[in-house]
A and B are shown apart, each in its own frame.
Chain A
Amino acid sequence: MSQTAAAESQAIPAPKGATPPRTEAVTLSAAVRRLGFWSAVAMVTTYLIFLVSAVGTLTGALGAPLNAYIPYGASMLIAPSFILLVISIHHSAPEAKRVWSHAAIAFATLYAAFVSIVYVTWLFVVEPHIMNHTESQVALLSNQTGSFMELVDGLGYTYMGFAVCLTAPVFAGGRLAAWTRWLAIANGPAALMILASYVSQWIPLGVPGTMLVLVYGVLVAIYFSRAGRRA
C-alpha cells in the first residue's frame, strides 16, 4: 500500500460496550467511510421520499402526474445509491468475509438492473401515454397489479433483500454491528415475502421487507459515521 493510502487508512475502533472482534482487524480508508456514509444517507432519503409519496398516492393526497413522477423517480434513485452502499460495505469487510459481500454486490447489481428497467419504462414510456390517454398502446408495460413489469419490479426488490441479507456476516463486534447483522439476516425471509406480495397481489406481505431495508440503511449510515468520527 502506498504512503498516502496508509495515512488515509485507519482501523475502526469498536463501538461502546463492544466485545473484542473475533475476526481480523478491519481497516477503512477515508474514501470508503465517506462513500459508505453518503450512499447510505442517499438511499435512506430516496427511500423515505418514495414511502411518503406512495402513502400520498394511496390516500389520494398526491395528484397526477406527481403521483407517478415522485415515487418512481425516487425509486429509480434508490438503485445507484444502494449499489454504492453495498460496494462500500464490501470494501469495509475483512478478507475472510468478502465472499459474502461480493455475492451481495452481484445481487445488488441484478436489483439495480431490473428496477431501473421498470422505472425508466413507467416514467418515460407509460406515463407520457397515460397523459395522452393512449395507455392502451402500452398495456403490456403498464404498472397494473400482476403485470409483466410489476413482477420484474418484485423480482428486483427480492434480489435487493437477498443482497442486504448477504452483507450480514460483515457486521461483527459491537451492539450496533449486531443489530445491523440481525436486521440484514431478517431481510432474507422478508425478501421472499416481498416476492410473495407481488405474486399474491397482497401488499401487506411486502411491508416488513420495505421497513427492514429502511432501518438497515439508517444503521449502516450510523456505522460508517461512527467509523469516521472515531478514526
Chain B
Amino acid sequence: MMAQAAAKSQQVIAASEGGARTTASRLRGQLGFWSGLLTAVCALGFLTGSLAYPTPAWRGMGAYIASFDSSQMLWMIPALVLAPSFLVLMVCVHAGATDERKLLAEIAVVFATVYATLATTNYFIQLIAVRPSILSGSAQGLAFLSMANPNGLFIALEGLGYLFQEIGMLFVAFVFVGSRLKWSIRWSLFGASFGCWLIAGILVLALPRSLLSGLGSLGVVSVGTDLWAIFTALAGILLAVHFRKQGMARQGT
C-alpha cells in the first residue's frame, strides 16, 4: 500500500516536472522566434535607414550642424531596438543549448550584454542629447559627441559595441551543429561576426568603384557594415525558423 502511494507520488512529481519543462521550452520557442524575427527586421531597418540617409562626411561641427537633418539619425531607432532583441535571442539560444555547448552560448550572452549596454547608451545619447542640442542651436561644443566625427565618442563606442557583439556571434555559431538549418545558422553567424569584413575587403578590391558608390558604399567599413546587416538579418530569420520548428516538433509529440 505504502509502496503504491510512494510510486504514485513519484509519478505526480515526474508529471509536474515534465509539465514545467514543456512550459519552459514552449516559452523559449516563442521568445526565440519573436526575438529572431525582430532581430532580422531591425537589421534590415538599420540597413535601409543608413542607405537612404547616409551620415555626411565630417568637415567640422559647423558644417555638420548646417547640413543636419533628423532623418540622418533614423537608422538608430532600429539599431536601438536591435540590441535588446539580439540579447533576448542569445539568452534563448543559451537556454536551448545542449550541456556540452552551454558554455559557448553563455559567453555569447555576456558579450551580447556588453554590446547592448554600449550600443543603447550610445544611440540614446545621440537621440536624446545630441539631436535636440543641434536642433536648438546649442551643439557647438559637442563635436566630440557627433556621430560623423571620426575621432568622436560615437564612432569609438559603436566600434567597440559591435566588436563585442561579433565576438559573441563567433562563439554562439559553434552551438549549431547537425541539421542543414543549423549549419546555415552557423555560417550566417560566421558571416555576421567577422566574415563580413573579409568579404568587404575582397569586394572593395575586386568591384569597380562606380558599382560600389551606386550601392551607397565606398570603403571597407561601409561595405562591411552593410554585409553585417544582411548576415545578421539572415541569422535572425534562420534562428526564428529554428525556434518555430522546435516548437512545432514539441507540439507534434
Contacts and interface: CB of A to CB of B under 8 A. Distances in A.
A91 B100 CA distance: 11
A175 B221 CA distance: 52
Contacts of B143: 137
B117 A113 contact: yes
A91 to B, nearest CB: 5
Interface stretch (A10-18, A59-67, A122-130, A180-188): A122-130
A74 to B, nearest CB: 16
Looking at chain A's contact residues, is the secondary structure mostly helix, strand, loop, or mixed?
A: helix
Contacts of A116: 114, 118, 160, 164
A52 interface: no
A68 interface: no
B98 A2 contact: yes
Contacts of A4: 100
Contacts, number: 80
B185 to A, nearest CB: 19
A117 to B, nearest CB: 6
Nearest to B98: A2
Interface in B81-124: 98-100, 102-103, 106-107, 110-111, 113-114, 117-118, 121
Contact of A125 (B100, B106, B107, B151): B151
Interface residues of B, number: 26
A120 B151 contact: no
Interface in A41-96: 80, 83-84, 87-88, 90-91
Nearest to A127: B151
Nearest to A30: B100
A80 B167 contact: yes
Contacts of B151: 124-125, 128-129
Given A137-B144, A138-B144, A141-B144, A32 B167 contact: no
B174 to A, nearest CB: 10
Interface string A4-26: 11001000000000000000000
B63 to A, nearest CB: 16
26 contacts: A1-B99, A2-B100, A4-B100, A5-B100, A32-B103, A80-B111, A83-B110, A83-B111, A84-B107, A87-B103, A87-B106, A88-B103, A90-B106, A109-B110, A109-B113, A113-B113, A116-B118, A117-B118, A121-B157, A124-B151, A125-B151, A125-B152, A129-B151, A137-B144, A138-B144, A141-B144
B13 interface: no
A121 B151 CA distance: 9
Given A5-B99, A125-B153, A120 B107 contact: no
Interface of A: 1-2, 4-5, 8, 29, 31-32, 35, 80, 83-84, 87-88, 90-91, 105, 108-109, 112-113, 116-117, 120-121, 123-125, 128-129, 137-138, 140-141
A80 B102 CA distance: 18
B19 interface: no
Contacts of A32: 103
Determine which residue in A8, A88, A116 has the highest number of CB atoms from chain B within 10 A of its CB, and name it.
A116
A113 B144 contact: no
B156 interface: yes
Contacts of B132: none
Contacts of A35: 103
B176 to A, nearest CB: 15
Contact of A113 (B106, B107, B114): B114
A121 B106 contact: no
Interface in B203-220: none
B113 A120 contact: no
Contact of B144 (A1, A87, A88, A125): A125
A88 to B, nearest CB: 8
A108 B110 CA distance: 9
B170 to A, nearest CB: 12
